[in-house]
Amino acid sequence: MNVIKIKDRQELDRRVPMMPWYVEKFINYKLPDLSPSSLLEYVRDYETFMGWLIAEGLSSAEKVKDVQLIELERLHMDSIDTFRMFLATNPNHSNTRTTITRKLSSLRSLFHYLSQIAEDDEFYPLLKRNVMAKVSIKRTHKPKDTAAKLEGKLLQEEEIHEFLAYIHADYEKDVAENKQALYSYQLNRTRDSCIISLILHSGLRVSEIVNLNTDDIDVKKKLAYVYRKGKNDDTFKTPVYFRQEAVDDLTAYLQMRDSHYKAPKREKALFLAIANGKKEGSRMTKRAIQEMVIKYAKRFGKPYLSVHKLRHSFATDYYLRNDIYMTQEQLGHASPETTQIYAHLTDKTMAEAIDRIKQASEAAN
């Protein structure tokens, strides 16, 4: 059971009826091919766009659901340029270039479907004129550019061990005067160390960590069985290797999970938390894990660290010891092109390592 996918499907089912009929038709068309999580992002993008059309007077509708097809046909390129500017400058939306590109791509997918695939009763396209076909969308995910943005923001070599050691012990000294923080740390230290150790020694995504159940972990074989991103088959889990360094943390957590978090027998989630006002543990949320990582990262002096950057840290280290295809398989990338960012990152890492060896050798002589 993919917990995040189930929640996203429920949210998708809630939101779609509030969209225009032709958006609902598009979502149903895409449902067999895309995950509920991806389609939910589409719907959110369409809500933003159609809400903007209404606010700008480009649609006479009062609600998003009532935006008409003819109003999409009458849009000019100037309108799309203005919407792009709105996304880039609106203080209520922290849109990066990547986010803006994704939102425009979502629109282009909808407009393409309405103008090229969907038909009315007379076999004519639902959308007679497609303004989005004229929109140039520059891809922003070049491996070299992504590597440049990550440079200096990852844990490298001994820093991985230093960060884990900090969570195991040194964090307690930093929060000794804060009773609330100290209590939370002492309560969750073993669990938190286990989660971060598992990410840093396997490269699992936060969604994969959240979805893990107790029977998805094989400590002896050092395997975690996960639902991989982009795969719609909920009957198959992919085995993902984790390093020996994660075994002790996993063993320690598994030994105390049931009693410490008062886990009911029906709760299969691996990582638990006891919510305020509750007596029994339940599955940790994605947000809780993200906030937990940021909490330790800030105290460690690396405030830019996140769950995803921990995954990148593992991947860079793993790539140094293996090749691009093994790294691609370990991370669950659909294409080796995505994995190429680690080639650019490790070029610099290896150069720095060679320099350190050379300096040490010169100092010894």
Q: How many CB atoms lie within 10 A of CB 63?
A: 12
The residue type found at 235 is T
- CA 216 → CA 225, 239, 296, 321, 339, distances in Å? 5, 9, 26, 26, 26
Q: Are 311 and 219 in contact (CB under 8 A)?
A: no
Catalytic residue selected from 15, 201, 311, 312:
311
* CB contact set of 264 (below 8 Å; sequence gap of 6+): 280, 281
Question: What does the buried/exposed string (b/e) look like for 301-336 if buried means 16 or more CB atoms within 10 Å of the residue's CB?
Answer: ebeebbbebbbbbbbbbbbbeeeeeebbebbbbeee
Q: Are 274 and 259 in contact (CB under 8 A)?
A: no
Whether residue 318 lies in the annotated active site: no
Whether residue 229 lies in the annotated active site: yes
Q: Which of left, alpha, beta for 152 (phi over 0: left; psi -120 to 50: alpha)?
A: left
Whether residue 268 lies in the annotated active site: no
For residue 288, how far is the Cα from the chain centroid?
14
Whether residue 243 lies in the annotated active site: no
Backbone angles phi, psi at 225, to 5 degrees: -100, 115
Whether residue 97 lies in the annotated active site: no
Catalytic residue selected from 103, 205, 309, 344:
205
Catalytic residue selected from 25, 229, 283, 348:
229
Whether residue 257 lies in the annotated active site: no
- CA 77 → CA 45, 69, 90, 151, 204, distances in Å? 18, 17, 20, 37, 42
Catalytic residue selected from 15, 309, 333, 344:
333
Catalytic residue selected from 7, 30, 112, 308:
308
Give the relative orientation of helices 143-150 and 341-364 as an angle to the nearest 10 degrees.
50
Residues that are catalytic: 205, 229, 308, 311, 333, 342
